[in-house]
Amino acid sequence: MAPGFGGLPAAERDVDVSGRVANFLAELPPRGLARVRLGLKAFELLPFPWRFSRLDLNAREDYLGHLEKSTFGPYQDLLLMAKVLCTFGYAVVPAVKEQVGYEVTCALDGAVAVAADPGQASPAGTLGETEVPGSVEECDVVIVGSGAGGAAAAATLAEAGVDVIVLEAGSHFDSGSYPSDPMEAILSLYREAGLTIADGHPPIPIPVARTVGGTTVINSGTCFRAPDQVLEAWERDHGIDWAADVGAEYSEAESFLRVTPVDPEQMGRNGQLTMEGAAALGASGGPISRNAGRCVQCSSCPFGCRIDAKRAMHVSYLPRAVAAGARVRANVEAERVVVENGRATQVACRVAIQDSRERTSPRQSGTSPSTMAEHGGPALAGARAEGPTRPYTVRARTAVIVAGGALGTPELLIRSGLGGKAVGWNLHIHPACWVGARYEEEVRGWEGVMQSYYVDEWERERILLEATFTPLPFGGAWLLGTGRRHQEAMLGFGNVGSIGVHLSDHSSGRVRVGGDGSLRASYKLDRADARRIGYGIARAAEIHFAAGATEVYPNIGRIGVLRPGDAGRLDSIDPKPAELRLEAFHPMGTARMGPEGGGPGGDGAVCDSDGAVRGTRGLYVADASLFPTSVGVNPMMTIIAFSKRVAAGIAARG
C-alpha cells in the first residue's frame, strides 16, 4: 500500500507500519477485533489461488488496482478497510508528515487576551477527585454520562442545591494529558477505538467518545440551534409542548460556552473555497459558530484540543457543576439501574482497577498517557471496559438520569430491563460523506479551522453542507489510488479541499444488546435517503468546481473522478445505499420523548415530555436519545438545551 514514492518512505523497509497497526489492533475490544480479523482474512484469501501476502510488489499493486476499479460493494469495503488501517499507521510517521508538509497545531487569535476574557471557560483540572473513593456513595441525583447532556444537567442541578454524582466510563484527559499519538488517542478517547459500527448496507461507522466530557472532547465544536421548523414539529406532532420555547436555554449555553462565528479572514483556505464556491452559485450559507471563542487554528479536534480552547464539557459545564458541589467519577462502567418498589434508587457499576504501579489518572498524576499505556494504565481505559474491576454502587435519593448518548443510554436501559420495547428503536444518525477535490492552488486544510463554513441552500432537501477538513491519518485513506498512485495523492494532500455532506435522515435503525452483552447497532438506509445523499454530493461537487477545483472525488465507487462539467452526471445517477461510503457522528432518537399519558405523537415513545422514563419513577433521560426525529444540524446545543430543561424540572419537583 505504501511502497515508497516521491520522497515518501516505504512501509516496512524504511518505517514500521505493521507493528504500529498490530499494537493498535491488540488493544481493540473483542468484537471490533473480530470484525477486523474477518476482513483481513478475506483480503488475504481473495486473490485465490494465491494469497495476497505472497504476491510480489507489482502483483499486489495490480490486485489493489483491480479492487479499486470494481463496482462490487464488498470489494470496495475490503479495500477501504485496508487503506484505513495502512494509512492510519503510515500517516502518523514523522517522516511522512514532514514530506507531506502536514502538521497539527492549535492557536487563539493573538489579539485576544485569553486570561482576561470573562467568557473564557474554567480551566481543566477543576474536577476535583475523579477516582472512586470506596464501594458505595450516596447523592440526590446520579447522572450516568458526562457529555453534553450529562454535564449540562449536572451544572443545572448542582447550582439548584442538588447533591449530584456524575459517572463516566472513560478516563479524564485535558490539554496537559491528551495522547499526542493519534493511535493512542483513538484508543484512549473513543468508544471501541472508534470502531462502533451500525451494521447494514452500507455499514456505517459512528465514532463516539468514551472520556470525561463525552463526544464534546473530540467533536469540531460546531454550534447550531435546531431549525425552528424541527422544534415546532416536535411540539406539534410529538407532544413536547415546550420544544419551541428553549430560546433561553440556547442563549445561556451560547454565552457560557463563548459561541462565536468563525472569522472568514482566518477560517483557512478550505472554508474560504467553500464560501467562494457557494457565493458563485448564489447558495445561502455562512461561517459556522463554534464553542471555541477566537480560536483561529485547530487541527487536533478529533484527538482533544491541545490548548482546550474548545469549550468541551470537561472544561466548561463539569467544572461549573463541581464548583457547585457535584462529584465526577471516572473509569466507572454503569451496568444496571436498580429499581425498588417501582422507583429507580441506585446504579450498580464496575470500576476499573488500575495497575498498582499507576493508580492515578493521567490528569491527576501528571504522567504522560504514553508512559501509562506502556504499563497497562488508564490511558487505554477509554477503549474498553476489560481488565480487573471491582463493584461500586451509587444510591440516589431523588433520581437517576441516564445521559450516555443515543448508543449508551438504550444500552443501559435494555440491560436494566427498563423503558419498554421501544427502547433502542428510532435510531437516527445524520449519514454523512466526504466530498474531496483537488485544486491547483495550495489549500493546506489543516491550517485554519477544521469545520468552518456551512451551506444550507438545500435545507428543504434535508441536506446540510459543511466545509470540513479531515486530519491526514483519516482523510488520507479516502484519497484515490493504491500503491504509488495513492502515495502520489498523499503528496498532494496540501492541494485537497473537502466538504462534508450531512443528511437529516428519515431512515432509521436500532440499538440492542447482544447475547455476549455487547452493544449492537444496525441501520437501514432507504433508497430515498440514498438518493438525497447523492443529490448533496452533486451540490458539493458544484461548489468545488465553482471555486476552481480541477477534480472532485464523489466517494461513489462507480463514478471515480469528476472533471469540470461532470457534476451534472451525478443528478442522473440513482445510487444504491450500498454504493455510498458513509460515516455518521450524531446518533439520536433511541429513547424518544412523547406526551405524558400517550396521545398524539406518544406511540412508541420511551419518555414523557419531562424526560421521565415511562414505567419507572425517578428515572430520566437527558441526551440526544430524547429527540423524536433527526434534528438536521449538529446536535450539541440542542442536547444541552433539552438536558437543562429536564434537569430544571427535576430540581423544581425536588
Which residue numbers are catalytic?
Answer: 586
**Environment class of 536 (CB within 10 Å of its CB; exposed 0-12, middle 13-18, buried 19+):** buried
- Helix boundaries (H) for 27-104: 30-45, 57-69, 73-90, 94-100
Beta bridge partners of residue 436, listed in sequence order: 498, 553
For 103-167, list the strands marked E by DSSP: 106-108, 136-144, 164-167
DSSP string, 429-452: ---EEEEEEE-SS---TTSSBSEE
Residue 247 neighbours by CB distance under 10 Å = 11
- Contacts of residue 87, defined as CB under 8 A and 6 or more positions apart, other chains included, come to 1, 473, 474, 476, 477
R_g of the chain computed on alpha carbons: 24
Q: How many CA atoms lie within 13 A of 560 on its CB side?
A: 10
> How far, in Å, CA of 175 to CA of 304, rounded?
7
DSSP string, 348-362: EEEEEPPPTT--S-H
Q: Looking up cell 462507480, which residue turns up?
A: 558
DSSP string, 287-300: EPEETTTTEEEES-
Residue in 160, 164, 179, 153 with CA at minimum distance from that of residue 128:
164
Contact 167, 321 (CB under 8 A): no
Q: Looking up cell 461510503, which residue turns up?
A: 581
Q: 572-577 long-range contacts, Cβ below 8 Å, gap at least 24?
A: 573/534, 574/527, 574/531, 574/534, 575/530, 575/531, 575/533, 575/534, 576/527, 576/530, 577/200, 577/201, 577/202, 577/525, 577/526, 577/527, 577/529, 577/530
Structure-derived torsion over alpha carbons of residues 72, 75, 77, 78, reported in degrees to the nearest 10: 170
- Contacts of residue 357, defined as CB under 8 A and 6 or more positions apart, other chains included, come to 375, 377
Q: How many CA atoms lie within 13 A of 420 on its CB side?
A: 14
- Contacts of residue 118, defined as CB under 8 A and 6 or more positions apart, other chains included, come to none
Q: What's phi and psi for 69, nearest 5 deg?
A: -80, -15
| Helix or strand run (H / E) with residue 530 | helix 527-546
Contact 354, 378 (CB under 8 A): yes
Beta bridge partners of residue 340, listed in sequence order: 343
Pairing status of strand 260-261 against strand 289-290 = antiparallel
Residue in 351, 358, 350 with CA at minimum distance from that of residue 377:
358
Give the length of the chain.
654
> How far, in Å, CA of 582 to CA of 436, rounded?
14
Residue 222 neighbours by CB distance under 10 Å = 26
